[in-house]
Amino acid sequence: MSFFKKLKDKITGQTESVTEKFKTGLEKTRDSFVGKMNELVARYRKVDEDFFEELEELLISSDVGVATVMELIDNLKDEVRLRNIKDTSEIQPVISEKLAELLQKDEEDASLNIQEGAMTVILFVGVNGVGKTTTIGKMAHMFKEEGKSVLLAAGDTFRAGAIEQLEVWGERVGVDVIKQQAGSDPAAVMFDAVQAAKSRNADVLLCDTAGRLQNKVNLMKELEKVKRVIEREVPNAPHEVLLVLDATTGQNAMSQAKQFSETTDVSGIVLTKLDGTAKGGIVLAIRHELDIPVKYVGLGEKMDDLQPFNAEQFVYGLFKDVLEEKLEEEENQ
C-alpha cells in the first residue's frame, strides 16, 4: 500500500470535524507554502542543484528551521536518486512524504499523561502574550466535556489582569479558580490550589504561571519553586509541563522553546494561533530540532479549536490537493 493510500485511510478513520479543523486552520500556510512550491515546480523542468537550492530557501522562509531543512534536502536528494526522479512534477508527493516522516516520530508521545483514578496536575509555562490563559480555558472546557472535574490555579500573580482573565475563562466553562491577591507568592497559590483540588476530589488541576518577571533567571527560579511545592504535595506531579508558544512568532517561538527546555522539564508544547500564520512550518522545526512533542495546536478562536496534534492531519491539511491528485493517479493506474 502506498504512503498516500495509508495516509488517506488513517484520515478516513478519524472524525470529519477534526480533518476540517486542520484543513481550515492550515489554510494560510497551505496557500503560501504550496503556492510557492507550485511556482517553483513550474519554473523548473528538471530536478537539479538549482532546484534544490531554491527549495531550501522556500522551506527556510516557511520557518521549517535550518537544521530540519538540511536534513530534509539530503533525504530528498537520496530519494530522487533512488527513484530516478527527473521531472519536478514528481517531487511534490515525495516532499510531503518526507515531511510526514519527520513529524511521525512517535505517536505515543503526543498524548497527555493523564492519571486514571487519581488527580492529574498540568503546569503551563510560557512568556506573556502567547495565549497561555486562553489555552488553559479551552483545555478546562475539553476536560469538562469528557466528564472530568476541573480546577484552575491562578499562579500568574504578577501580570496585571492575569487573575481576572483566568476567572473570566473559569466562569465561561463553569470551573472554579483558586486565587490569591495580585502580587502574592505563586508557590502559595499552588499550595492552596492543590489542597482545594484534593479536598474536592478534582480529576484535573490546571496551573497558570507567570510569563515575565524582572529577568529570565527570576522567572525560572519561580517556576522551580512552584514545581517543588506541587511535587511535595502530589508525588510525581506535575504530570505534564506544557510550554505554550505562539506560532505567529516563528523563530522567536523556537528560541523561547530552547530557553524553557534548558531550565524546566518541558514535556510537551501547545502551539497557539496556527490558523493565524502562513509559517506553520514551525511545527516541523520544533518537533525535529528540540525533540519535544507538539501535543496540542490552536486552530481557531472557538472553544473546541484547541486540538490534539495529529501528524497525519497536519500533513493532509498542508498537502491536501497534492495528495488527492496522487491518489487519483494511483487509482487510475
Residue 273 annotated as part of some ligand binding site: yes
Q: Are 88 and 47 in contact (CB under 8 A)?
A: yes
Q: How far apart are CA 224 and CA 233, in angstroms?
A: 14
Task: Report the number of secondary-structure helices (H) and strands (E) in the chain.
Answer: 13, 8
Rounding to the nearest 10 degrees, give the CA dihedral for residues 235, 238, 239, 241.
-160
- One-letter amino acid identity for 310? N
Residue 173 annotated as part of some ligand binding site: no
Residue 132 annotated as part of some ligand binding site: yes
Reported as type and span, the H/E element at residue 121 is strand 120-125
Q: Are 245 and 269 in contact (CB under 8 A)?
A: yes
Residue 128 annotated as part of some ligand binding site: yes
Residue 130 annotated as part of some ligand binding site: yes
Residue 170 annotated as part of some ligand binding site: no
Residue 133 annotated as part of some ligand binding site: yes
Three-state DSSP state, 153: strand
Q: How far apart are CA 203 and CA 189, in angstroms?
A: 19
Residue 98 annotated as part of some ligand binding site: no
Residue 212 annotated as part of some ligand binding site: yes
Query: DSSP for 32-52?
Result: HHHHHHHHHHHH-SB--HHHH
Residue 131 annotated as part of some ligand binding site: yes
Three-state DSSP state, 281: coil
Q: How far apart are CA 200 and CA 198, in angstroms?
A: 5
Residue 203 annotated as part of some ligand binding site: no
Phi, psi of 254 (to 5 degrees): -60, -45
Residue 134 annotated as part of some ligand binding site: no
Residue 211 annotated as part of some ligand binding site: yes
Residue 185 annotated as part of some ligand binding site: no
Residues belonging to the chain: 333
Q: From the annotation, which residues make up the binding site for GTP?
A: 126-133, 208-212, 272-275
Q: From the annotation, which residues make up the binding site?
A: 126-133, 208-212, 272-275
